[in-house]
Structure 1
């Protein structure tokens, strides 16, 4: 993103002065919140591989929580960086930018990955058994 703002990073309407227990020195205003952008070198697409030299992560498009969500999967080690689609806590699937059908398809896609460890966007990391439990329970709840 060349010019990240509260709106195009989906921080709006969540980032407000009220969510902070302490603020930087005045004149801080959450309305001016922005992430300093790193220059983009290319776009990532489902199936692309991020080559870090001795590690290779496949990009898995995981829309549902948000339209452009991705997970990064390293098949050689069983490591999954899942982002916001799945983590060991209450899943947020009902925001204004969420899509229930996409969320379901993404969860089905991630269920059978032979993960060893999942590093979610929130909370503690967890292993394969917990991964299948979280997604399995979520899918059962949606199928009822």
Structure 2
């Protein structure tokens, strides 16, 4: 692996209004570039997912964390839960807790360890990772070859119908397995806002990886299609509205009806 430059800063952010801030890691390949969402509430704040964990999210976003913070992991793949060890208020679905505690969803950042078949598979679903998973490193001395995901402990197990209450807004937990066993989304019915994690996003959906389940994904997609959303803030790629949600759900359901 050729030497990578040191990034001047690791995280970018954008305030979207309605108390919502998007954070992301621009030097990470889109395959692993998770959307991290901060939602400001009256009594407490919400953080949805924690990114790859190669740099300190707690330090980079410390100015946002001025109230009690609840961290919800939509699932425990490395790109969403890599930074979870920095926070002591992580909520996960019971089906994801062991993976978080064991850091078992580690994905090597060194692409030289991937076989030609692995690289071809990723390319076939729209992710060419042959050029590397990082375009820079977060600080001097960071070695992508030796980096491993850090384990973390869940402080609360949450599932279907549970509520994350920020005081002035409430998010209902939807269990949407398929991408992973404990994939969840957070639904604010009052505003029509959905934080969907990797249950649905405007990109290549992964349903043939360890822990995925296509029949479960089909059922989850049918649920999502019927949800009266105004805006979906997903785990990857841009946010979108209900019309695009329906298009994406229909495309997935049609593709899987042929298999």
**TM-score, normalising length from structure 2?**
0.49
How many equivalent residue pairs?
141
Structure 2 unaligned residues grouped into runs of 5+: 1-96, 112-131
Partner of 1:69: 183
After superposition, give the CA deviation of every residue in 1:1-56 in whole Å (9 maximum; x if it has no partner).
69947843x2335x33742222232253554433574x643210111011011110
Give SS of 1:126's match. coil
Contact 2:103/2:151 (8 A) holds in 1 = no
Partner of 2:220: 106
Q: Provide the C-alpha distance between the structure 2 equivalents of 1:87 and 1:27, rounded to a whole number of angstroms.
A: 30
After superposition, give the CA deviation of every residue in 1:98-141 in whole Å (9 maximum; x if it has no partner).
11111111111111000000011000000011101110121122
Cα deviation for residue 82 of structure 1 reads: 0.5
* Structure 1 ranges of 4+ moved more than 6 A: none
Contact 2:102/2:151 (8 A) holds in 1 = no
**TM-score, normalising length from structure 1?**
0.84
Structure 1 unaligned residues grouped into runs of 5+: none
CA RMSD of aligned residues (A): 2.5
Pick one of 148, 162, 184 that aligns with 1:33: 148
Q: Mapping of 1:49-128 within 5 angstroms? A: 49-128=163-242
